[in-house]
Chain A
Amino acid sequence: MSSRDAILQRLRHRTGGELTAPECDFSVLNRPDWSTAEKLDMFERTIESVHGEVHRTTESGWIDRLAEILQTRGAQTLLIAKEHEIGKALKNATENREDLPQLLVYDEAIDSWQETLFNDVDAGITSTRGGIAETGSLILWPSVDEPRLMSLVPPIHIAVLKASELYTTFHDAMQSQNWAAGMPTNALLVSGPSKTADIEQTLAYGVHGPKELIVLVIE
């Protein structure tokens, strides 16, 4: 018999007899209905407590803000998506402004340009599928247009979050967006920059992923 069948058989013919599944009441996860402003405050406080940076901005002002942020960091290159409106807006903007870094478009399979991505990209910008106030988390569903490594490999990750898409809790977000109906190949909660405390409990950032996480909140 295969190990699979042997394991399943042992589990099915339990000597202790059938088990009964208890009820699961998730109401302990419920939180009061916070307003968008309250959620945003909470989100900001929580993500900043773990070294994330939040900039509140607007539909018309975010590119200026981004340019400023990247300039102070001396970023030379910024990775953008091909189709997403964020990438498009940036591309249009570069046509008549000088203060943005060079834009690189993630439009080829990684296998052909892995080395460049690892060595020559200073920042990556992605959209989000919303945020979670309670834990200060960003929801990312990488896609064909915004592949997984965009938010992982460059030392700076910039995420654009619409304040109107903030949820109170993870449970809330998952239920509202009906995740159980179908998951992408990869989904993520990102709550701050990469970090470790493996050396004597001392925090250090950017151990494998981005050293900085910058959230542009569109209010």
Chain B
Amino acid sequence: MSETTHHSAHHIDVKEFHPRARAAIHNPQIRQNFRKAMDGLMTKRKSAFEGWDLETLRDLGANIRMRALANLPDLLEQLEQKLTENGVTVHWAADGDEACEIVRDICLARDAKSVIKGKSMVSEEMELNHYLEDQGIEALESDLGEYIVQLAEETPSHIIMPAIHKNTTEISQLLHDKTGTDLSNDVEYLTANARLQLREKFRNADVGISGVNFAVAETGTLCLVENEGNGRMTTTVPPCHIAVTGIEKVVPKLEDVTALLALLTRSATGQHITTYFNMISGPRKADELDGPEEVHLVLVDNGRSTIYQDDELLDTLRCIRCGACMNHCPVYTRVGGHAYGTTYPGPIGKILMPHMVGLDEGRHLPTASSLCGACGEVCPVKIPIPDLLVRLRQEAVDGDKLHPAKVRGHGAKRGTVEAMIWKGWSWMHARPGLYRLGTALGARFRKLQPGKLGGWTQYRTAPKLAAKTLHERMKERSQ
């Protein structure tokens, strides 16, 4: 089918993580842009939670998400029923391709030629823009960051701040080249120009496409969190609004969103709240004067129901996409979002993307972490990200006979040499006598130790074996 092959055309090879990471590390502009942005975001988050009992609040966040997941199928049905009652059409998509086709069919039925988009990471997952373009439908991003990224023909480098990898000068140049604005470092000027350009697009768009931050089952309400107002424009001005979201985004109660919102905006950008919290429960009613005539919700699975099967991996689905884990990640800060080559970069990407692209493709993702734990410490819904990274490393090498691997592409990273090294290591360290002999010999012949140890000595001196091991010294002491 021609529809389902479109993804390969724009495909980035996830496996090529190393060269991309290396390039980013040696790019001072990238390093500086990310360092500055991440430092600012960390400081803001910290001050936004001042005076809060953050541990208890995070526990609540985790429990709300877990309660939702525990009843997921029922909640999805309830959501569907409520939305349908409210006049919203609900669609279900097994994967990104099917979701794209659903969107296309809605557009075709309306004879739509142009689509305006609010920020939606699920639509990035679907690679919707490219798909629609191939279908002859113009899809324009309206979130300023997404707009910049689209003009640059790039992908977002951060899930909340898509253009964070660029500084003002770079953006000014881009806008100049693509839209004819003057070169200027005046952000107000650049923003005002984007407003002008996009206002026309809002007015003329046939369809608006947005994401969803929380979908409330009890009332059939789609919640959107944003600052710019482009989300409101997208969901209000065009005659048809299509919301796309992952099946895990549902929560049972309207009340739930109060706590999740408090966590989300503070974790993401250190804001007490965003400028707009937009709750949509239906299309324009007969007597209403504005709002879309048609509202659709596309519920996208794309691997989520598989993650759902496993008690440990399930925690991945608690994510509310705040981006705090990447803001605090020392690896993300060094390599930036594009190095990962995945829709979701950073820690959440490392635990989520292997399910979407398979562990064979995504084999390097779980290893690109020092397991420092900063991500897990700030995650507003307490996802144990480091533990999940270790789990995926285990899956990547089929490393646990007691708990056989399940993730698609598991075992792809198991190399014969590496496996033998660990076997040998294990054999020696499980035998104390042998270990003592080995380490004592090492100490005795430490002068023969190689001075070069691969990647380690590229940056550091080799560690120096002591003249006597602690074992030997304790032995001497007891004699």
Interface residues of A in 1-45 (CB under 8 A from B): 2-4, 6-8, 10-12, 14-16, 19-26, 28-29
Give Cα A21 to B98, complex, Å: 31
Asked if A189 is an interface residue, CB under 8 A from chain B, the answer is: yes
Give Cα A135 to B243, complex, Å: 27
Give Cα A183 to B310, complex, Å: 35
A-side interface mostly: loop
Contact of A106 among B198, B256, B289 (CB under 8 A): B289
Encode A178-210 as 1/0 by CB contact (under 8 A) with B.
011011111111111111111111111011111
Asked if A169 is an interface residue, CB under 8 A from chain B, the answer is: yes
Most buried by A among B171, B218, B228: B228
Residues of chain B contacted by A6 (CB below 8 angstroms): 94
Asked if A126 is an interface residue, CB under 8 A from chain B, the answer is: no
B288: nearest residue on chain A (CB-CB)?
Answer: A144
B289 touches A170 (CB 8 A): no
B175: nearest residue on chain A (CB-CB)?
Answer: A199
Asked if B163 is an interface residue, CB under 8 A from chain A, the answer is: yes
Give Cα A207 to B193, complex, Å: 9
Asked if B179 is an interface residue, CB under 8 A from chain A, the answer is: no
Give Cα A210 to B187, complex, Å: 17
A137 touches B273 (CB 8 A): yes
Residues of chain A contacted by B112 (CB below 8 angstroms): none
Give Cα A200 to B165, complex, Å: 8
A217 shortest CB reach to chain B, Å: 19
B255 touches A8 (CB 8 A): no
Encode B256-295 as 1/0 by CB contact (under 8 A) with A.
1011011000000101111111111111110111110000
Residues of chain A contacted by B4 (CB below 8 angstroms): none
A202: nearest residue on chain B (CB-CB)?
Answer: B187
Give Cα A195 to B72, complex, Å: 35
Residues of chain A contacted by B405 (CB below 8 angstroms): none
Asked if B57 is an interface residue, CB under 8 A from chain A, the answer is: yes
- Interface size on A, as a range, is 35 or more
B305 shortest CB reach to chain A, Å: 4
B227 touches A196 (CB 8 A): yes
Give Cα A207 to B142, complex, Å: 10
Residues of chain A contacted by B277 (CB below 8 angstroms): 137, 188-189, 191
Encode A125-149 as 1/0 by CB contact (under 8 A) with B.
0000000001111000011100111
Contact of A183 among B187, B199, B254, B305 (CB under 8 A): B254
Give Cα A183 to B247, complex, Å: 22
Asked if B229 is an interface residue, CB under 8 A from chain A, the answer is: yes
Residues of chain B contacted by A46 (CB below 8 angstroms): 272
B219 touches A26 (CB 8 A): no
Give Cα A208 to B234, complex, Å: 10
Stretch from B62-70, B418-426, B436-444, B470-478 forming part of the interface with A: B62-70
A177 shortest CB reach to chain B, Å: 11
Asked if B398 is an interface residue, CB under 8 A from chain A, the answer is: no
Residues of chain A contacted by B479 (CB below 8 angstroms): none
Contact of B275 among A12, A144, A193 (CB under 8 A): A193
Asked if A110 is an interface residue, CB under 8 A from chain B, the answer is: yes
A8 touches B77 (CB 8 A): yes
Given A11-B305, A199-B163, A110 and B272 contact (CB-CB distance below 8 Å): no
A73 shortest CB reach to chain B, Å: 17
B229 touches A152 (CB 8 A): yes
Contact of B191 among A28, A135, A137, A207 (CB under 8 A): A207
Residues of chain B contacted by A16 (CB below 8 angstroms): 309-311, 314
Residues of chain B contacted by A50 (CB below 8 angstroms): 271, 275
A175 touches B203 (CB 8 A): no
B226 shortest CB reach to chain A, Å: 9
Asked if A109 is an interface residue, CB under 8 A from chain B, the answer is: yes
B288 touches A147 (CB 8 A): yes
B280 touches A186 (CB 8 A): yes
Residues of chain A contacted by B33 (CB below 8 angstroms): 200
Q: In the complex, given contacts A8-B76, A185-B280, what are 12 additional A-B residue pairs having Cβ atoms less than 8 angstroms apart?
A: A3-B93, A7-B299, A15-B310, A185-B86, A185-B282, A190-B276, A192-B275, A196-B144, A198-B143, A198-B163, A200-B168, A208-B195
Q: List 14 A-B contacts (CB under 8 A).
A: A28-B259, A115-B203, A144-B288, A144-B289, A149-B290, A179-B254, A183-B219, A183-B220, A188-B276, A191-B274, A198-B143, A204-B190, A204-B191, A207-B194
Query: Interface on A for B, CB 8 Å cutoff?
Result: 2-4, 6-8, 10-12, 14-16, 19-26, 28-29, 46, 50, 106-110, 114-115, 118, 134-137, 142-144, 147-149, 152, 169-171, 174-175, 179-180, 182-204, 206-210
Query: Interface on B for A, CB 8 Å cutoff?
Result: 33, 36-37, 40, 52-53, 56-57, 60, 63-64, 66-67, 69-73, 76-77, 86, 92-94, 98, 142-145, 148, 161-164, 166-168, 171, 187-188, 190-192, 194-195, 198-199, 202-203, 218-221, 227-230, 232-233, 236-237, 247, 253-256, 258-259, 261-262, 269, 271-285, 287-291, 299, 301, 305-306, 308-311, 314
